[in-house]
């Protein structure tokens, strides 16, 4: 990896520094002299998070000095007032493993209850996002460009109400996006909520608003989409029906719904490749329908999307949240620390210790007296933790099932060009290009999205010379085998200029390529019952993340989705509070979750009618002859 290699070689001048200190907090079963590379020393200075929580006393002092060193923090943490120590002992000690949106949601819910101290572990050097990731030449880089759709109420609330940020400081306006194929521009998605756009019930509103936006796909092909509307109404009739849709591939459902081959090949397949990062033949029909409904069909403006306005999501949203949680509560963020195993106390059927590997000290560390654990990991991370935790694997079969699921590779590229390329829209999709080698692809014009802070896109030192383009490849196992230079060549010769001719004259001033193997949840056919549940057979272990099944706490945001991951974390935190504190002590301590907008009336009526009609038919005298006994009949004959 371009950047990773550099970090280990040049950027932080690997030399060894010895930091000697003793930790006396009762719950940490270690006391050692450690050697750290300058890289990690830099990162702990920079993150202010990397090793210790702030004691209340320090919090009071932090107004005076915001740049206290780790040494000072340790000293002060050990010098807590006796009442603070007493308070601390009654607090539950929770380890959150994984600092994605799921992990942060859980940490927030647990800390804000004022009943827990949280140790948040992540393999990333700076999970607090404060430092931002930099390339070898000091330019900013982010692992994939991620949009914020219209129905992300909890993330929006976090930014505006909790962190007091202005929406227009954090997010761009909602933007249009374009779809390119080897034949040229295929379609443009408008902003559906614009003041000049008439608002209609779904899906009429979407049909009218996009009537002229498809440049090639004939109307008769688009009209076959109507078959999917019935599946939307039927999908959640009951759990068994849902599982049947889940076992089918999206491709099978599309065929059974009568969608035209051209609609699938030219529109739905590329859309799914950038929405769920796999083609329809490798996706669960149930999750595909959930995604299409949530992002496109629920309301006319469901597809409206906006982007981060400057820097990165880490710097703009996660960093202030981390700062706020560390200032106000007992949060200890441990960057560069991989959870290795969970120890189960078999008598209590509870996890009591977590072992992690600290990449800075190159040591294994045990956290003991643990009251609860949130596993906020993807499939790859879960596999590694569960396979190193034999008692947990024995007692929680659902975690071994989840650990058996696959995940998807992503490659992210950033290009700094020597001329400005004007594109119609800042967000763009590559569709059906042979050069994609089966991947989905997107490109984002950062010089348009982050125009107010253009200098920062060039690292703040260099004068901007042209466009800065962020390109992501999803389902990118084939692309990932190419060298960095070949990936850049593929983009600059075979993809970008084929979409927008003006890219042909642009030279590359600088680039960065990063590979993220097995980084994203794969919603494969039949995976639903194997996905991790929010609560597990080991009561003090809960799961968070975009792939978690939330049961009766299920939330409206679906698919690969930051909002879903964040809410799953909040719900996991709430569930653990109830488990560890008991009903009376956890009363009134639950972190609230804001629901997404209600379904429109026509959808509610359609669902009720479908359920009643099918229910009556199943109960009729002829029912046993025509309908399977499981109460999960569906018109598509899915089994």
Enumerate binding residues for ligand FAD (CB under 6 A): 97-103, 121-124, 144, 146-147, 338-339, 376-378, 381, 384-385, 410, 472, 519-520, 545-546, 560-562, 565
In eight-state DSSP terms, residue 228 is H
Beta bridge partners of 423: none
Cβ-based nearer residue to ligand FAD, 146 or 607: 146
Q: How far is the CB of 104 from ligand FAD (least distance, A)?
A: 8
Cβ-based nearer residue to ligand FAD, 110 or 121: 121
Q: How far is the CB of 439 from ligand FAD (least distance, A)?
A: 11
Q: How far is the CB of 377 from ligand FAD (least distance, A)?
A: 5
Are 453 and 310 a contacting pair, CB within 8 Å? yes
Cβ-based nearer residue to ligand FAD, 29 or 387: 387
Cβ-based nearer residue to ligand FAD, 152 or 254: 152
Q: Which residue has the tokens 């400057």?
A: 310
Q: What share of the chain is helix, strand, coil (3-state, %, to 5)?
A: 40, 20, 40
Cβ-based nearer residue to ligand FAD, 103 or 525: 103
Cβ-based nearer residue to ligand FAD, 244 or 306: 306
Q: Which two tokens stand for residue 215?
A: 């440049």
Question: How many CB atoms neighbour CB 215 within 10 A?
Answer: 14
Cβ-based nearer residue to ligand FAD, 407 or 538: 407
**C-alpha span between 574 and 589 (Å, rounded):** 8
**C-alpha span between 489 and 529 (Å, rounded):** 42
Q: Which two tokens stand for residue 216?
A: 């090639």
Cβ-based nearer residue to ligand FAD, 222 or 383: 383
Cα 414 to Cα 447, 458, 518, distances in angstroms: 12, 11, 20
Among left, alpha and beta (phi > 0; psi -120 to 50; other), residue 132 is left
Rg (CA), the chain: 25
**C-alpha span between 493 and 504 (Å, rounded):** 7
Q: What stretch of H or E contains 98?
A: none
Residue facing ligand FAD at closest CB distance? 100
Q: Which two tokens stand for residue 573?
A: 């935190």
Q: How far is the CB of 457 from ligand FAD (least distance, A)?
A: 18
Q: How far is the CB of 562 from ligand FAD (least distance, A)?
A: 4
Are 122 and 440 a contacting pair, CB within 8 Å? no
Q: Which two tokens stand for residue 68?
A: 């206290």
**C-alpha span between 68 and 138 (Å, rounded):** 26
Are 193 and 304 a contacting pair, CB within 8 Å? yes
**C-alpha span between 262 and 264 (Å, rounded):** 5
Cβ-based nearer residue to ligand FAD, 154 or 586: 154
Cβ-based nearer residue to ligand FAD, 244 or 414: 414
Q: How far is the CB of 347 from ligand FAD (least distance, A)?
A: 27
Q: How far is the CB of 144 from ligand FAD (least distance, A)?
A: 2
Q: What is the DSSP string of 526-559?
A: T-GGGSPBSB-SSTTEEE-STT-B-GGG--S--S
Mention every residue, 6+ apart, whose C-beta is less than 8 A from residue 358: 34, 334, 336, 337, 364, 365
Cβ-based nearer residue to ligand FAD, 381 or 573: 381
């Amino acid at each position: 990896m371009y950047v990773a290699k550099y970090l280990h070689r040049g950027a932080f001048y690997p030399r060894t520094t010895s930091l000697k200190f003793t930790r006396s907090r009762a719950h940490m079963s270690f006391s050692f002299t450690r050697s750290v590379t300058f890289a990690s020393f830099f990162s702990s200075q920079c993150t202010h998070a990397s090793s210790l929580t702030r004691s209340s006393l320090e919090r009071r002092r932090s107004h005076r000095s915001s740049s206290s060193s780790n040494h000072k923090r340790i000293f002060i943490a050990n010098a807590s007032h006796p009442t603070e120590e007493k308070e601390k002992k009654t607090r539950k000690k929770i380890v959150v493993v994984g600092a994605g949106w799921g992990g942060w949601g859980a940490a927030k819910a647990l800390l804000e209850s004022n009943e827990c101290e949280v140790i948040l572990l992540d393999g990333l050097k700076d999970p607090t996002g404060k430092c931002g990731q930099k390339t070898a030449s000091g330019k900013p880089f982010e692992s994939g460009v991620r949009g914020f759709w219209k129905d992300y109420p909890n993330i929006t609330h976090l930014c505006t109400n909790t962190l007091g940020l202005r929406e227009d400081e954090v997010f761009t306006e909602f933007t249009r996006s374009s779809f390119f194929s080897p034949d040229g521009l295929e379609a443009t998605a408008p902003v559906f909520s614009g003041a000049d756009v008439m608002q209609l019930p779904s899906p009429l509103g979407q049909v009218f608003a996009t009537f002229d936006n498809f440049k090639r796909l004939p109307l008769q092909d688009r009209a076959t989409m109507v078959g999917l509307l019935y599946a939307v109404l039927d999908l959640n009739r009951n759990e068994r029906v849902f599982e049947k849709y889940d076992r089918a591939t999206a491709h099978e459902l599309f065929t059974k719904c009568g969608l035209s081959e051209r609609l699938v090949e030219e529109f739905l397949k590329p859309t799914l490749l950038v929405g769920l990062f796999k083609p329809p033949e490798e996706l669960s029909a149930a999750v595909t329908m959930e995604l299409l409904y949530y992002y496109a069909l629920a309301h006319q403006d469901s597809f409206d999307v906006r982007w981060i306005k400057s820097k990165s999501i880490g710097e703009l949203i996660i960093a202030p949240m981390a700062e706020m949680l560390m200032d106000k509560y007992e949060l200890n963020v441990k960057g560069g620390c991989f959870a290795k195993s969970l120890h189960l106390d078999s008598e209590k059927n509870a996890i009591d210790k977590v072992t992690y590997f600290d990449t800075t000290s190159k040591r294994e560390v045990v956290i003991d007296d643990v009251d609860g654990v949130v596993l906020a990991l993807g499939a790859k991370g879960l596999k590694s933790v569960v396979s190193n935790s034999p008692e947990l694997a024995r007692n929680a079969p659902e975690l071994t099932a989840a650990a058996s699921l696959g995940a998807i590779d992503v490659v992210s590229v950033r290009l700094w060009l020597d001329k400005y390329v004007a594109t119609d829209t800042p967000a763009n999709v590559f569709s059906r290009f042979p050069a994609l080698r089966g991947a989905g692809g997107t490109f984002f014009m950062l010089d348009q999205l982050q125009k107010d802070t253009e200098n920062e896109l060039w690292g703040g030192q260099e004068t901007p010379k042209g466009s800065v383009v962020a390109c992501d490849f999803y389902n990118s196992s084939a692309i990932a085998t190419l060298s960095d230079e070949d990936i850049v060549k593929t983009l600059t010769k075979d993809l970008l200029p084929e979409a927008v001719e003006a890219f042909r004259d642009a030279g590359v001033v600088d680039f960065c390529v990063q590979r993220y193997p097995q980084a994203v949840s794969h919603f494969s056919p039949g995976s639903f019952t194997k996905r991790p549940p929010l609560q597990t057979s080991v009561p003090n272990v809960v799961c968070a993340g975009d792939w978690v099944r939330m049961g009766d706490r299920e939330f409206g945001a679906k698919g690969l989705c930051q909002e879903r991951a964040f809410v799953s974390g909040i719900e996991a935190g709430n569930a653990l509070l109830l488990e560890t504190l008991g009903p009376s002590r956890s009363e009134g301590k639950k972190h609230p979750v804001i629901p997404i907008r209600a379904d429109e009336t026509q959808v509610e009526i359609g669902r009720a009618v479908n359920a009643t009609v099918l229910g009556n038919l199943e109960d009729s005298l002829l029912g046993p002859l025509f309908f399977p006994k499981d109460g999960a009949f569906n018109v598509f004959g899915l089994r």
